[in-house]
Amino acid sequence: MSVILRRAGPTGIVLRMRDVWKAFPGVQALRGAELEVRAGEVHVLLGENGAGKSTLMRVLCGQHAADRGRVELDGKEIAPATPRDAASLGLVMIHQELNLVDQLSVAENLFLGSEPRRLGLIDARQMRYETAGLLARLRSRLDPDARVGALSIAQQQLVEIAKALRTTPRVLVMDEPSAALADSEIAALFAIIRSLCGQGVAVVYISHRMKEIFEIGQRVTVMRDGQTIGTHEVAEIDGDRLIQMMVGRPIAERIPKRHAPLGPELLRVDGLRVAGGAPLTLAVRAGEILGVGGLVGSGRTELARCIFGATPLEAGRVFVAERPLARPSPDAAIAAGIGFVTEDRKHLGLMLGRSVAENITVTDLRPVLRGGLLDRKLERAHVGEWIERLRIRVASPEQQVMLLSGGNQQKVVIAKWLAARCRVLLLDEPTRGIDVGAKAEVYEMIGELVGQGVAILLISSDLPELLGLADRVAVMHEGRLQGILPQVEATQEAVMRLALGARA
């Protein structure tokens, strides 16, 4: 495959990708994909998980070599063999999965491999100064000396964006950059994107959030099954048409209404102290979804981790079906019937080096055992059922989960707990990084679970999702429970007022 760099012509097209093919063992990821991007535009790349979006961009940015095809980019023929080669040409990609060193500081991560030097030594003061300037552009107050491993997912995402801005990109690819960001952080991100576009930078923006497409994009290209389905001006197309192009059939991104009666209390936390906040008490009944809202850093994830026993309790007790967990721990929580879909699938939700089958069955081996031994035939049938129900795109159940797209990895995490038939399910950002088709299926699955009497505690930064799914919404602020709103009173305005520190 050749890559040609040329000056944008009268049409303003700076990037052309033509008839790009790429296969991996057992998977044809790209099938003659095509893309055209204009200088200074935000071009949204849309498609279901596994549609080929990220693979196409990795071909562009030197991470994968295409089997065949042609890429033209502003002036000169090039063939970047590595991401570093691509970055030197102005091709930069911010990945959905974070690529940071937890043990290093924010500044050290930003300058890793290209540290400024003074008298032959690393100039730490200059690194901190330049890092502070980049973070200020993102309206972030992060400490340049903060250890990255101690930051939240949203803060780590901002570090990735700041790292990309260290270069002067010609084409900047953003793969789900806002997935873990709060609304104020997304506004700052969009301001940076518009500023870059004003300087002639082409931004390829991969997102599953329909609202973002119409807020930030000028044109949108839809991919399906490794092929380009079409490109449209954002102003000339609506969400329903885009969804139909993505999935190949009409589908509504709506949350199904439920009318099932609630059962007895299945989960109660009493006097629990989260992230140094005040003791809080809440309960969830069988067949109920209790939503948990709040801004990033409010203590939502910490609440779920304390319930699951992943974080030691500072104070309080956890009850499942009125029985206390004597010594809260993940083992005790799982034994009591609690499942936990974490927001950080890469580090906490998956065994990346293991197969899809092993990841799905790890929480409960009983359905795949015969005479105390693993039965591969039972395993394939059991795992195959979940692969089909959640439409997980995988070559086979034996494929390593690390080789799946981010969205398909998230589906495996969800399948792991659904297969365990938990009676209490903690869902922390369960649809983050999932496309609209899969999101509708997750909503249906959640509806089925509560219909079967499962109690669900749902944490989500997507307010329409939170309000549409939850029977009640508990809102947190700085580790405190600000109030619990019944469904009829839970509006976006009411939730945000509590999230910002007001009392119910």
- Amino acid 255: pLDDT: 62
User: In the structure, what pLDDT confidence band is assigned to residue 254 with cuts at 50, 70 and 90?
Assistant: low
Whether the pLDDT of residue 182 is over 90: the answer is no
Whether the pLDDT of residue 62 is over 50: the answer is yes
Q: Kindly report the CA angle at 325 between 319 and 328, in degrees rounded to 5?
A: 120
Tokens coding 500: 């910002």
Q: What region does 69 belong to: left with phi over 0, alpha with psi -120 to 50, or beta? A: left
300, 274 Cβ separation under 8 angstroms? no
Whether the pLDDT of residue 249 is over 80: the answer is no
Residues of the chain with CATH 3.40.50.300: 265-499
Interacting residues of 174 by C-beta distance below 8 A, sequence separation 6+: 93, 94, 161, 193, 203, 204, 205, 206
Arithmetic mean of pLDDT, 290-307: 89
- Amino acid 10: pLDDT: 37
Model confidence pLDDT, tens digit, residues 470-504: 999 999 988 899 999 998 898 888 888 888 777 66
456, 446 Cβ separation under 8 angstroms? yes
- State the chain's mean pLDDT as an integer: 85
46, 222 Cβ separation under 8 angstroms? yes
Share of the chain above pLDDT 90, in %: 34
Q: Give the residue with greater pLDDT, 504 vs 155.
A: 155
- Amino acid 260: pLDDT: 65
Q: What region does 317 belong to: left with phi over 0, alpha with psi -120 to 50, or beta? A: beta
User: In the structure, what pLDDT confidence band is assigned to residue 79 with cuts at 50, 70 and 90?
Assistant: confident
290, 487 Cβ separation under 8 angstroms? no
Give pTM, 2 decimals.
0.63
Q: Give the residue with greater pLDDT, 283 vs 210.
A: 283
Domain 265-499: give its CATH code: 3.40.50.300
User: In the structure, what pLDDT confidence band is assigned to residue 6 with cuts at 50, 70 and 90?
Assistant: very low
Characterize 285-324 residue by residue with b for buried, 16 or more Cβ atoms within 10 angstroms of its Cβ, and e for exposed.
Answer: bbbbbbbbbbbbbbbbbbbbbbbbbbbebbebebbbeeee
User: In the structure, what pLDDT confidence band is assigned to residue 43 with cuts at 50, 70 and 90?
Assistant: very high
**Residue 493: Cβ within 10 Å count:** 6
Give the residue carrying structure tokens 């008839």: 19
- DSSP H helices, 309-435, are 330-336, 356-361, 376-389, 406-419
235, 242 Cβ separation under 8 angstroms? no
Whether the pLDDT of residue 4 is over 50: the answer is no
Q: Which residues pair with 175 in a beta bridge?
A: 206
Whether the pLDDT of residue 250 is over 70: the answer is no
Model confidence pLDDT, tens digit, residues 83-126: 888 888 889 898 877 789 999 999 999 998 888 898 889 999 99
Model confidence pLDDT, tens digit, residues 409-430: 888 888 888 888 889 999 998 8
User: In the structure, what pLDDT confidence band is assigned to residue 220 with cuts at 50, 70 and 90?
Assistant: very high
